[in-house]
Structure 1
Amino acid sequence: MTSTPAPDRVRTRAPGKINVHLSVGALQDDGYHDIATAYQAVSLYEDVTAERADDFSVRFTGPIDTSSVPTDDTNLAIRAARLVARTSGHRGGVHLTIEKQVPVAGGMGGGSADAAATLLAVDTLWGTGLGRDELLRLAAELGADVPFAFAGGTAVGTGRGDELSPALAKGEFHWVLALSETGLSTPAVYRALDEHRERYRADISPAPRTPVVEAQVLQALRAGDAELLAENLHNDLQAPAMRLQPALAQTLELGERSGALAGLVSGSGPTVAFLVPDRDAALEVQVALSASGFVALRANGPVHGARVLH
């Protein structure tokens, strides 16, 4: 029997995501929140090329500004590679080249997609054979959104967002994404939410201990019904994101006026995702946003999670 020689280079891909529903529970004693979210993986991808090396390094290519992204050991992709090496006992490193298509600090899980694609890339490159279940476990150690970037498709996330249950989704949903010139810090958005809830606690309902995804969201996904989904898009982080970046209100208004069924801030923002009825409407909304000076991208979902390209 002949064994297949280990490759010197592996290229993988993982998708960005949109949270079509995001409910945030009460602030807990450990400083975290439980959430309930419906994730949809969309066709903006992070492509990772892994090459054998003596140490660990990463560089970026592609159209996205990565000047704020660290390239040292705090980088999530480097952390993913080191975690696989530590878990498997592999000796040696990797050089990663990441072609970024997902905006940085945009609420679409670009860093999580980097980590998910890297887990698969180095496992394949090194022949460590950890398997899907073990890679998903490692993904959860790296961050709440990493397991979904690995799994892709459509799913409900609970706990920190990393406890995944696949959700049935029919057909294809079309999105237009309006990017922002400046990112938003996820911890800052959560702090703004907590401050708002504390300030107005006498006037608003208390945050749930155990949030849930609304049934109508799951029904819309299951039926492939874009109009029903548009009516039920929800994000508890949208209001605090808009307080930190007030211009997001005008972005939402412009997209909806230009033909979108509805829009919402994706995750912790500031990317705004507009759900549209079809490809033609997506093009119209993209043109309108571009004419107003936005970088606007079209995407569709759901799409596959992390996979090996070659």
Structure 2
Amino acid sequence: MTTHLVADRVHVRAPGKLNLFFEVGDVQADGYHDVASAYQAVSLYEDVWAEPSDDFTVSIAGAVDVSGVPADDRNLALRAARLLAKKTGHAGGVHLDIHKYVPVAGGMGGGSADAAAALVACDALWGTDVGTAELHRLGARLGADVPFALMGGTAIGTGRGDQLNPALAKGRFDWVLLPTDAGLSTPEVYAHLDRLRDQSGGGSAPREIGVRRTPEVDPGVLQALRAGDPVALAERVRNDLQTAALSLRPQLRDALELGDHSGALVGMVSGSGPTLAFLTADAESALELQVTLSAAGMTALHVHGPVAGARVMSM
């Protein structure tokens, strides 16, 4: 059984993500959906410190409301640590100190970033050296977004979103985010999408409601990313969960309209929401939009992508 410790404390940083394109297929017999997504990691991070412990424990703080984040075995980062320990036969435990900056239940994969950071941190702390491929396999067992939080950059995800292929993205894309204190449950948003699709009958439904048996990413998204062209990307962004999220949280429509009328190339719900993401032409445009939205009394964050996945900052 592995007991050797490489360090006394390891700090790992992992990014939140945006779904630049997210097409959702039919609900399957097991209740899940196949998807096709274009992910981009952005410069809003989760920080996780891991240190030796006899047990598996976690503490949580940060710049966002963390009151809804579990500090027991429901915590995804803690589950990640236990999974790696079981895989490698590590005899001890770990204490994880998580500092959160990605909105909780905000559609940006903050919990998945925590889990990815925990896997990398524990692997470094314990010296288990399982390798990148195995970390990705373990991550996929924890959730569809965990492998991408490990990978970072820009990628196409298919299946449940965890079958990843890197995508070339030239240059930098600037975004302004509007987080919301009250999160949305991802399962609830998917279930509401299914209800809306049932009610619509599919055929005459809007594009984001209509059902597609085999989801696929619009080739125009890949072309815009390769060209580093935010204007072209803005014409192709899509999120099938957006209509469901806006139906559950209709007040988000006003903020979307304000961003669209204040210089954004396009605004969208991030993932299952309720965080809103506005693509801008460049960093200067993002700053101007951030100021405008802040002046309207909103919390606005300027981020950019793509950025690297989970990585060790210090040992």
User: Normalising by the residue count of structure 1, what TM-score does the alignment of the two structures yield?
Assistant: 0.97
Q: 2:308 aligns with which of 299, 304, 310?
A: 304
Q: Distance in 2 between matches of 1:232 and 1:5?
A: 48
Q: Distance in 2 between matches of 1:160 and 1:104?
A: 21
User: In the alignment, is the contact (CA less than 8 A) between 2:5 and 2:126 conserved in 1?
Assistant: no
1:154-187: CA deviation from partner (whole Å, max 9, x where unpaired): 0000000000011111000000000112100001
1:230-249: CA deviation from partner (whole Å, max 9, x where unpaired): 11110000000000000111
Q: Distance in 1 between matches of 2:233 and 2:30?
A: 34
Q: 2:216 aligns with which of 212, 225, 228?
A: 212
Give 1:253's aligned residue. 257
Give 1:79's aligned residue. 79
Q: Distance in 2 between matches of 1:9 and 1:251?
A: 42
Q: Distance in 2 between matches of 1:166 and 1:5?
A: 33
User: Normalising by the residue count of structure 2, what TM-score does the alignment of the two structures yield?
Assistant: 0.96
User: In the alignment, is the contact (CA less than 8 A) between 2:52 and 2:95 conserved in 1?
Assistant: yes
Structure 1 residue 5, shift from structure 2 partner: 6.8
Residue 248 of structure 2 is aligned to residue 244 of structure 1:
yes
1:43-102: CA deviation from partner (whole Å, max 9, x where unpaired): 000010001000011112221110001000010000000000000000111111111110
Tell me which amino acid in the other structure corresponds to 1:168: L
Identity of aligned residues (%): 62
Q: Distance in 1 between matches of 2:91 and 2:33?
A: 37
Tell me which amino acid in the other structure corresponds to 1:294: M
Q: Distance in 1 between matches of 2:214 and 2:190?
A: 17
Q: Distance in 2 between matches of 1:62 and 1:244?
A: 27
Matched ranges for 1:1-150 at <5 A? 6-150=6-150
Tell me which amino acid in the other structure corresponds to 1:180: T
Q: Distance in 1 between matches of 2:200 and 2:262?
A: 34
Give 2:279's aligned residue. 275
Tell me which amino acid in the other structure corresponds to 2:280: V
SS of match in other structure, 2:271 = coil
Give 1:153's aligned residue. 153
User: In the alignment, is the contact (CA less than 8 A) between 1:180 and 1:294 conserved in 2?
Assistant: no
Structure 1 residue 7, shift from structure 2 partner: 0.5
Structure 1 residue 105, shift from structure 2 partner: 0.3
Alpha carbon RMSD of aligned pairs, Å?
A: 1.1
Q: 1:290 aligns with which of 275, 289, 294?
A: 294
Divergent runs of 4+, >2 A: 202-206
User: In the alignment, is the contact (CA less than 8 A) between 1:119 and 1:135 conserved in 2?
Assistant: yes
Structure 1 residue 203, shift from structure 2 partner: 2.9
SS of match in other structure, 2:71 = coil
Tell me which amino acid in the other structure corresponds to 2:77: A
1:202-255: CA deviation from partner (whole Å, max 9, x where unpaired): 533851221000010110001000000011110000000000000111111011
SS of match in other structure, 2:235 = helix
How many corresponding residue pairs? 307
Q: Distance in 2 between matches of 1:200 and 1:100?
A: 39
SS of match in other structure, 1:203 = coil
Give 1:221's aligned residue. 225
SS of match in other structure, 1:309 = strand
SS of match in other structure, 2:85 = helix
Tell me which amino acid in the other structure corresponds to 1:221: L
SS of match in other structure, 1:232 = coil
1:10-42: CA deviation from partner (whole Å, max 9, x where unpaired): 000110000000000011111110000000000
Give 1:188's aligned residue. 188
Q: Distance in 2 between matches of 1:254 and 1:141?
A: 39
Q: Distance in 1 between matches of 2:308 and 2:63?
A: 22
Q: Distance in 1 between matches of 2:297 and 2:109?
A: 24
Q: Distance in 1 between matches of 2:105 and 2:295?
A: 24
Q: Distance in 1 between matches of 2:173 and 2:215?
A: 25
